[in-house]
Amino acid sequence: MKNIRRTLRVTAAAAAITLLAACGAGGEGSSDGREELELWFWGATPAQRAALEENLVDAYNASQDEYTLTVTFNERVDSNIQTALAANEGPDIVYGSGPSFVSPFAQSGKLLNLDEYSEQYGWQDRLLAPIYESGTVDGSLYAVANSINTVGIFYNQAVLDDLGVGVPTTIEELETALAAAQDAGLYPSVTGNKGWQPVNENYSSMFLTAVAGPDAMHDVLTGAASWTDQPYVDAVQMSADWYENGYLGGGQYTNLNFLESMQLLSDGQSPFFFGPTLAFQFAAEFFNTENGNVDDLGFIPFPTVGAELESPLYTLATTASFSINAQSEHPDAAAEVIDHMLTEDFMSTMTAQWPGYWGVPLAGVELDPAQFDGLSAAYVTALVDILTATEEGRFGYFTGTFFPPQTQQALVDIDTVWTGQADAETFLTGIETTFAAELADGAVPPIPAP
C-alpha cells in the first residue's frame, strides 16, 4: 500500500513539474530558442486559415530564426483584444476592425506609435494617402489597413441576360433591372444582417455616398454641415424606400446573411447582391469551375444619384487594421510582420487563394486581372477600379472606417427608419447629437478630403 502511495506521489510530482515546465515554455521563448510573436486574428474558414498560415506564418518563420510567429483565430477577436489591452496584455500584433476601433486604444496608450516604423519601411509613400491617414490619431500612425474595401453590387450575368437587361451603370438602369426582377418573381436584390447587426452600416454608408456625395460627407464629418441637412435626409430616406419596396434585401433582409445571399445570387434567385467586396471570400463556394458559373459573377459600384455627383463613386472602407501592442516585447519583429503584409507579393499571393480580404491599399500598384484565375480575377478587376477611384478622390466614407464609434453604432440603427420606427429627420437628429458630442471630444478619426 505504501509503495502504491509513494508511486502516486512521485507520479503527481513529476506531472506537476512537467506541467510547470510546459507553462514556462509557452511564456517567453519556445523550446527551439526562438521568441514567441503573437497575432490574434478573426475566425476565418479552414481554407482561409491555411492560406494565412502558409503565406504569412510559415513564410515569416522561415525568413529568420529569432521569432516564431503564431496566429490565433477567434470569431470574437474584437472583444478579446479589448479585454486583453485593458489589462495591459494581449498579442504583439493587434488586429482591429477599422480605425474607429483603434482610436480609443491609441488615446489610452495601449498601442505603439508607428511613425518610426512608417519612416523605416516607407509606409506613408507606399500606401494610399486616405487609407494611411485613416490609421492616424492626432497626426501619428497607430494602425495600417490590411485591405481596401467598398460596398457595391455583385451581379449574376446569366440572370441579367434572362431578364433581358444589361449591367446597370446608372441609378435609373439599376431601378429598371430591380423592377424587372421583381416582376419575374425573383428577389430584386439580396443581402441581410442575420447574425450580425452591424451589416446595416454597409447600406447607411452606401446610400450616403451615392446620394449625399463625397463633398457633403466630408463637410458633415468635419463639422461643417449638420446631419439634419437635406442631402443626408434624402440618403436615409432613399434607403428606407428601397428597404420597404424590397429593392434592398428583397423583403428577407433580417433572414439572410452574406453567405446565403451569395447562394441565392448563384442560384439565380436574384440578379443582384448588394454587399462589400470582402464578400468575394464567400463567393468561391457558389461560383466555381465545378458549377461552371465563375464568369457569371461581376461587381460594379452602386450608381450615384443625381447628375451633379461624379460617377462612379466608391465608399472607401478598410477590411481590418494592424497595430502593435504598446506592451509588446518585440515591436521591431511585429513591425516586420506587418510590413510583410503590406507588399504587392503578399497581396497577389493571398488574393489568388483568398479573394476579397487582402486588397492591400498600395499606391501606384498595377495589377493585371489576367494574371489571376477564377474569382480572384473578378476581385482584382474590382480592386483596380477602387484603387484608381481612391487615387482620383472619387470616394465616400464607410462608417466603420471614418466615423467615431458611437456615431457608427447609431448608424447601425438605420433599420429603425427602414421599419418605420422613426422617420429620417428624427433619426438624423439623434445622429447629429451623438456626432456633435464625439466631435467635441476629439473622437472623430481624420477625414481625408476627397
Partner 1 sequence: MTVLNSVQPDADTATVKDARRGRGHGVHYLLLAPAILLSMAIVLVPGVFTLVTSFTDWNGVAADPEFVGVENYAAILADPIFRTAVGNNIIWTLLFLTIPVVLGLGVALLLLRRPRTRGLYQVIFLLPYVMAAVTNAMVWLNMIYSPISGVIGFLNKQGWDIDSPISSLDGAIYAVAAVDIWHYWGFLLVVYLAALRQTPVEQIEAAQLEGANSWQVFRYVYLPNIRPTMQLMFVMIMIFSFLTFDYIFLMTQGGPANSTEMLSTFAYSLAFATFQFGKAAAVGIVMGVFGLVASVIYTRMSRRGMDV
Least separation in angstroms between residue 8's CB and partner 1 is 24
| CB < 8 Å & 24+ apart, contacts of 432-439 | 432/226, 432/227, 432/228, 434/406, 434/407, 434/410, 435/220, 435/227, 435/403, 435/404, 435/407, 436/223, 437/406, 438/404, 438/405, 438/406, 438/407, 439/223, 439/404
Which triple of cell numbers denotes residue 22? 510546459
Least distance in angstroms from the C-beta of 344 to partner 1: 34
Residue whose entry in the numeric block shows the C-alpha cell 503564431: 70
Q: Which residues pair with 68 in a beta bridge?
A: 36
Using the rule CB under 8 A, which residue among 66, 196, 306, 344 binds partner 1? 196
Find the binding residues for partner 1 in span 277-316 (CB under 8 A): none
Distance from C-alpha of 53 to C-alpha of 338, rounded to nearest angstrom? 14
Residue 38 to residue 28: CA distance in whole angstroms:
11
DSSP E strand stretches across 175-216? none
Measured from the CB atom, is 123 or 403 closer to partner 1?
Answer: 403
**Residue from 419, 433, 440, 449 that binds partner 1 (CB under 8 A)?**
419
For partner 1, the binding residue among 113, 191, 239, 263 (CB under 8 A) is 263
Size of the site for partner 1 (CB under 8 A): 37
Q: Which is nearer to partner 1, 82 or 124 (CB)?
A: 82
Length of the chain: 450
The β-bridge relationship of strands 321-324 and 144-145 is: antiparallel
The H or E element containing residue 282 is helix 280-283
Among 36, 92, 413, 432, binds partner 1 (CB under 8 A): 413
- Which one, 39 or 111, has the nearer CB to partner 1? 111
- Candidates 8-16, 169-177, 302-310, 413-421 — which segment interacts with partner 1 by CB under 8 A? 413-421
Nearer to partner 1, 11 or 196 (CB): 196
Nearer to partner 1 among residue 30 and residue 269 (C-beta): 269
What are 294's three cell numbers? 465563375
**Among 31, 230, 371, 421, which residue interacts with partner 1 (rule: CB under 8 A)?**
421
Q: Closest approach of Cβ 395 to partner 1, in Å?
A: 25
Please report, as ranges, the residues that interact with partner 1 according to CB under 8 A: 78-79, 82, 85-86, 104-105, 107-110, 193-198, 251-256, 260, 263-264, 405-406, 408-409, 412-413, 415-416, 418-419, 421
